[in-house]
Amino acid sequence: MEINEKVERVNAQYRQRNGLNRGLSNPSLSSFLKKEPINQWLKDSLVDGAWAELGCGEKSLFEEELLPGIENKSDLWGFDLSDVAIDRANSWGRCHYHQADLTKGIPYGPYQILLDGHFLHSLCSLPEVFTVLGHILQSLRPGGRFIGEVMTLHKNISFDSDLYFDFDKRVLFQGSIPIRTILEAREWEDLFKNCGFEIEFFVCQASIKMIPGNKRSEPMTGDPECLRFTLKRPNTKNKGISE
């Protein structure tokens, strides 16, 4: 893949961390996947088809003991824009890791499960998020699920002084660089529905704050909140989706 400015930017973040991150899968996402009914849905899908994590970084959550039997599942994929992260993941992990710019499409597939590794809100504009959701829907098998967590706005939102949030565009900037797209929960809901997903699980976890920048590791009250979701590609043809 071409190493352009966008790739260099994510590579720089991984180089800064300076080493394997294998012990540090995202704890919030991991706990979400271990909770019911999500964990039971994963168990039910274990032999139904391939799974992929989008924006997996240096370690896919599929490397963890999320459920019994996952250690024997061979069709697990991990995609990320950063070749530095993917090289590190490949150096020790057992998933099929590939560098990919997911705004251009989801490689291979179709998938029974797609996991959002805190990637969706890392996209740089609302149109980009809309496009990627379209790719996700198309790469799921009918009845397949897209599971994840995204940042949401709330009435007490505030951002660190090195960040600027454009409320009209819903884009967070660090200097001139767009780093996050953050919507209100009802805007995420509308977007998911407009893209053709069936919403199966949709819970705003106000108690979980998500840190949008890279200057601190302790969450603060004004940080975006966490929206947990499970979206399904409808099984039937009545929503105009080709099977």
Q: Which is nearer to ligand SAM, 144 or 212 (CB)?
A: 212
Q: Spell out the residues 6+ positions from residue 41 whose beta carbon is closer than 8 angstroms to its own.
A: 145, 147, 230
**Which of 33, 66, 97, 118 is in the footprint of ligand SAM by CB under 6 A?**
118
Nearer to ligand SAM, 103 or 125 (CB): 103
Show the tokens assigned to 99.
């560098």
Amino acid found at 107: P
Q: Is 84 in the site for ligand SAM (CB under 6 A)?
A: no
Nearest C-alpha neighbor of 115 from the set 153, 59, 36, 71: 59
For residues 73 and 120, the answer to whether their CB atoms sit within 8 Å is no
| Residue closer to ligand SAM, measured from CB, 100 or 185 | 100
Q: Which CB, 107 or 142, lies closer to ligand SAM? A: 107
Report the residue number, 27 or 240, with the smaller CB distance to ligand SAM: 27
Tell me which residues in 63-82 interact with ligand SAM (CB under 6 A): 79-82
As a whole number of angstroms, the distance between CA 102 and CA 128 comes to 10
Note the helical H segments in the chain. 5-17, 27-34, 38-44, 83-90, 126-139, 185-194
**Residue 55 within binding range of ligand SAM, rule CB under 6 A:** yes
Of residues 119, 124, 102, the one with CA closest to residue 180: 124
Check residue 115 for interaction with ligand SAM (CB under 6 A).
no
For residue 179, state whether it binds ligand SAM (rule: CB under 6 A).
no
**Of the candidate residues 103, 125, 138, 205, the single one contacting ligand SAM (CB under 6 A):** 103
Give the pairing type, strands 225-232 and 198-209.
Answer: antiparallel
Q: How far is the CB of 14 from ligand SAM (least distance, A)?
A: 7
Q: Which of 32, 42, 57, 181 binds ligand SAM (CB under 6 A)?
A: 57
Omega within 30 of 0 (cis) for the link into 178: no
Q: Under the rule (CB under 6 A), what is the footprint of ligand SAM?
A: 10, 26, 55-57, 79-82, 85, 100-103, 117-119, 122
